[in-house]
Structure 1
């Protein structure tokens, strides 16, 4: 059993034989604050997997006989929180490979790499992910020389936390045939030193030069990654996830888990374009259990801000260039036309202000014969991170959903001022501006880029300080959301973003009994206590899929 699996077993997610059996049946929840949305009630009745009653405890006991009595003992219940943007398989593989999250320096990264190599001997390429250089004392990207110093005789690829850049050692570059004469593919960069030699850093589409040389995971590894990811998410209080950049094989694995009754959370999928054939042929569809759905297509307009791949309208404040366009305009336009014909959703990654404008323009053009149809299609922009002032009102006007990740701000704002400059920083992470404009908003994590913790997202959206309580003078604290607004983004917003608001998003009678229970009342506790709380129970469709009571 891996370290992660053992931890999940101890936390109540797993038994030694696999997922703990989901406990189902009628139940009455009481003994702590219960929020049906913005409304707080004393008790909640669950019957046949749905909410049957919300109100006084005395009345709740009259609704159903012989129900399981769940005393929350002060814990707080909320509508099921749904991560509106995550990479399911990436979350699982983060737990199975070298996890560099939190590396404090290049020296520490080297030590972690050396130890992992020693513990996992072999000749096959070694992979890791999660480093981010913005806090490092060295104040630079790692290089192939840094990796060569500890692992010179085995290919190594270490991906940056945002997934938009990687560093490879000399052995990996040689295996991939990357030299000083290699031309970067469109939408990619090969960083070079003053002598013109590759440093080992490959950005965005250039990553494929080495990733193509890494053997694909086996079926068994993929199934383990899926199990790890969904069990981890249930243990954090999530009742669902919108998984993006999904392969057809990923969906098949989830379908198998749902059929076997081992999928604890709901998963909505946005496919890679190359794996969207079934979707484009028959439109959105679901597995027989309804736990797995295929909703749309995920595309990339630009790169990430940290690796300077985000497409900007003006050059970066701290470097030359305006970023990268990752997908050719004709490919995007063709995908939009096909998605519209199939009644499928589109979700496009856009971080820079130029990237966001290009997506808004493309969406508007795709529906130029029927502008109202765009709002009805509920197409999305993933991240919507930096938006020029003239483009902010277009989200509400066009009906485009802003699918955002609050935790990006409390991490990115250590380097975003340098990348953007003071004036343009005001365009970034504009949650309050978009909310006030009337835009539809959904909140997610972008895990494994971020940890994937709903409590961190809620804290970031409402407080906008880092996890140590620090906020710089230029961090835009006026862009915070109220607690009810943040809860709505994680519940109603996520449901609306996949056409599920009739069944999910709040705990009014008749809706699915998807419930997230936390040790703290997120609506009232001091901000500092929000990220230190934990999930107590996760209920999906009236079934207890995670239970940490008494642990």
Structure 2
């Protein structure tokens, strides 16, 4: 194939290319956004441009299957509380951040996680008042399903709203109210800057596409549509939107979403004691909260089938997952199981589930959009899950290996800013799950974080390197050896330090460079 006269062709040579189609390849030719040729350097065709990658790894680019770009950008640009280790740390961070803000500004921050603190009481509203000089303060917990707020913001919520607390730590509906107020204080210019910052950061990590999960209580329609439009301006990852509003399949389509799901909440989160469990939490007098009925789930799915859009739900606890699957059963009786399976609907998170629930995922052809970093950060014998659930249930959580073992379609993501955008770290987390039974191979994890993400959005042809496929890949500097064509990410023994993660040198999306380290 000769290079196109319209679009300059580019030959990438002297690489280590991860391709099942042409194993052992060291060069690939990109023409008109596609891979025109793949093979050894010695047989490479002529090209308009040649890029010598000097032994770097070339592999399919990543897809992050669950992100919140606006919140991610705000965290990257502003008040990131992930490193705080006490109530005092949070107050000090607020004090420093507020000192540079106008008096009428709203202090917005994210990422505090009290489960690792010695004293697990977060700052109360009155303490935030003093630290922020009387400004409104909204600080979301790591789970983004609760927040602490200052008195001026707390006063905007009726005590009768579910989730209200006089100390300013709000959950459920009360949290949605203050989240809307806080986000509503941010103008279109700042919103765009945050969204663009998040997407550029994703590109710098070898991520060529993200699935944006929006909906009532998570994001507003205007901001959602603004994000979906951003990539058209060029040099940014693609964005596939999921609008999580019950019974809104037609509306999701009108907004430009590919699915009516994502953050359509069947329950809350473990970190905020709102994930809906069959057995109570150990450290709180509750089993969490379910937000939908099986009948509502069924009606939503039937609407999705009739509108021809993908449906889905956020479900973390086993009670919530059970409700969603019961809804799938009711929907199957109305539209037929084949029509339901054809929609390739998805469930986000799926943290607490057993064999019977996994069997339901297989029966209905559901894609599992999951976040391995949850286990890395909060799983095991001593993490937040052990506090909330006990060690046994903690070690049974996020059973990635069990899902992969029975053929459940996997799509990996971060839920950023709940956990950072970190694709290789996500793969390592999946391969080193706290419970060895639930570990997956690096190859399986890589597929879930690349091709799995494309498939989850209905793009089955993307996510692999072969002649004729989309030229969507990343170039990586890898410090250590490769095994099976991919970096070695886990140490040989617990006593050894983990290998350094690969560093992205360039990200290419459909032939266009959207990130290059030389331009950063």
Contact 1:254 1:263 in 2 (8 A): no
Aligned to 1:269: 241
Contact 2:66 2:211 in 1 (8 A): yes
Aligned to 2:358: 392
The 2-side partners of 1:170 and 1:256 are apart by: 37
- Call closer, same or farther: CA 1:212–1:271 in 2, change over 3 Å: closer
Aligned to 2:34: 50
- Call closer, same or farther: CA 1:482–1:333 in 2, change over 3 Å: same
SS of the residue 1:171 aligns to: helix
Say whether residues 1:183 and 2:135 are aligned partners. no
Aligned to 1:307: 272
Aligned pair partner of 2:230 in 257, 264, 278: 257
Q: For each residue in 1:1-28, what CA deviation from the matched residue of structure 2 results, as whole angstroms up to 9, or x when unmatched? A: xxxxxxxxxxxxxxxxxxxxxxx73222
Contact 1:33 1:76 in 2 (8 A): yes
The count of aligned residue pairs is 492
SS of the residue 2:131 aligns to: coil
Aligned to 2:173: 205
- Call closer, same or farther: CA 1:530–1:236 in 2, change over 3 Å: farther
Aligned pair partner of 2:469 in 511, 514, 536: 511
Larger mean Cα displacement after TM superposition, 455-464 or 37-46: 37-46
Give the CA deviation at 1:442. 0.7
Aligned pair partner of 1:501 in 457, 460, 476: 460
Aligned pair partner of 2:261 in 293, 297, 311: 297
Q: For each residue in 1:341-397, what CA deviation from the matched residue of structure 2 results, as whole angstroms up to 9, or x when unmatched? A: 101111211111111111111122212241122221110010111102321222122
Larger mean Cα displacement after TM superposition, 70-79 or 375-384: 70-79
Q: For each residue in 1:291-323, what CA deviation from the matched residue of structure 2 results, as whole angstroms up to 9, or x when unmatched? A: xx6333331100101111110011112222110
SS of the residue 2:25 aligns to: strand
Give the CA deviation at 1:254. 4.0
Say whether residues 1:477 and 2:433 are aligned partners. no
Q: For each residue in 1:160-185, what CA deviation from the matched residue of structure 2 results, as whole angstroms up to 9, or x when unmatched? A: 121100011223223x154xxx2233
**Displaced runs of 4 or more, over 6 A:** none
Aligned to 2:3: none
Aligned pair partner of 2:331 in 366, 369, 384: 366
Contact 2:66 2:212 in 1 (8 A): yes
Contact 2:474 2:507 in 1 (8 A): yes
Aligned pair partner of 1:217 in 186, 197, 222: 186
The 2-side partners of 1:158 and 1:531 are apart by: 32
Give the CA deviation at 1:211. 3.2
Aligned to 1:318: 283
Q: For each residue in 1:26-78, what CA deviation from the matched residue of structure 2 results, as whole angstroms up to 9, or x when unmatched? A: 2222323211258452222211111122222222x23xx33321222222111
Structure 2: which 5+ runs fail to align?
1-6, 491-496
- Call closer, same or farther: CA 1:531–1:410 in 2, change over 3 Å: farther
Give the CA deviation at 1:276. 5.0
The 1-side partners of 2:432 and 2:29 are apart by: 33
The 1-side partners of 2:204 and 2:126 are apart by: 39
SS of the residue 1:391 aligns to: helix
The 2-side partners of 1:493 and 1:254 are apart by: 22
- Superposed, 1:30-49 pairs within 5 Å as 30-37=13-20, 39-49=23-33
Give the CA deviation at 1:277. 6.8
Aligned pair partner of 1:336 in 301, 308, 320: 301
SS of the residue 2:467 aligns to: coil
- Superposed, 1:69-88 pairs within 5 Å as 69-88=50-69
Give the CA deviation at 1:213. 3.8
Larger mean Cα displacement after TM superposition, 262-271 or 210-219: 210-219
Larger mean Cα displacement after TM superposition, 46-55 or 441-450: 46-55
Say whether residues 1:489 and 2:448 are aligned partners. yes
- Call closer, same or farther: CA 1:384–1:526 in 2, change over 3 Å: closer
Q: For each residue in 1:189-228, what CA deviation from the matched residue of structure 2 results, as whole angstroms up to 9, or x when unmatched? A: 234xxxxxx1211113221343344344222222212211
When the two chains are superposed, the root-mean-square deviation of aligned CA atoms in Å is 2.4
Aligned to 1:244: 213
Structure 1: which 5+ runs fail to align?
1-23, 192-197, 286-292, 465-474
Contact 2:373 2:419 in 1 (8 A): yes
- Call closer, same or farther: CA 1:235–1:138 in 2, change over 3 Å: same
